Structure 1
Amino acid sequence: MLKTYNGMPATELRGARWHKSRRSNSQGNCVEMAELPGGAVAMRNSRYPEGPALIYTRPEIRALILGAKEGDFDPLIAAN
């Protein structure tokens, strides 16, 4: 696999198995994630699968997921 970098086209991540949340809706409003060789994790917008991918370390993903579980980002989903 070629060297990964933030913002690279998600389509260049050959062999990536993208996973979408079960909470994703029919409009495709979801983020997809894929484990990469070496343990990094890629993230992309499910509405633009050919668009840019952001690459995170395993500790960064862990902090994000645990923070979401603990409600750290709840103000971001509050109704307008």
Structure 2
Amino acid sequence: MADQSWQKSSFSGDTANCIYLAEASGDGIRIRESDAPGIIISTSLDVLRALLLGVKAGEFDHLTT
């Protein structure tokens, strides 16, 4: 895989628990976690957008309690 330009949220600061995003071909996006950088998942921008909107709306809060 070619070297990618990974970006993390400015909200992550210097913590070890970060999510990184990188552009993929077409309308894709790649996602990896800082403590497992070799594991990369790919999805579309539309699917990522739906996930983020659901998180912001609290649709997954029951999974963290």
1:32 to 1, 16, 20: 20
RMSD of equivalent CA atoms: 1.8
CA–CA separation in structure 2 for the residues paired with 1:56 and 1:22? 22
Aligned twin of 1:47: 35
Aligned twin of 2:52: 65
CA–CA separation in structure 2 for the residues paired with 1:75 and 1:34? 29
CA–CA separation in structure 2 for the residues paired with 1:74 and 1:19? 25
Aligned twin of 1:4: none
4+ long deviations beyond 6 Å: none
TM-score by length of structure 2 reads 0.76
Please list every run of 5 or more consecutive structure 2 residues that lacks an aligned counterpart in the other structure: none
CA displacement at 1:70 relative to structure 2: 1.1
Q: State which drifts further: 69-78 or 36-45.
A: 69-78
Which structure is higher in strand share? Answer: 2
Please list every run of 5 or more consecutive structure 1 residues that lacks an aligned counterpart in the other structure: 1-11
Higher relative contact order (CA 8 A, sep 6+): 1
TM-score by length of structure 1 reads 0.65
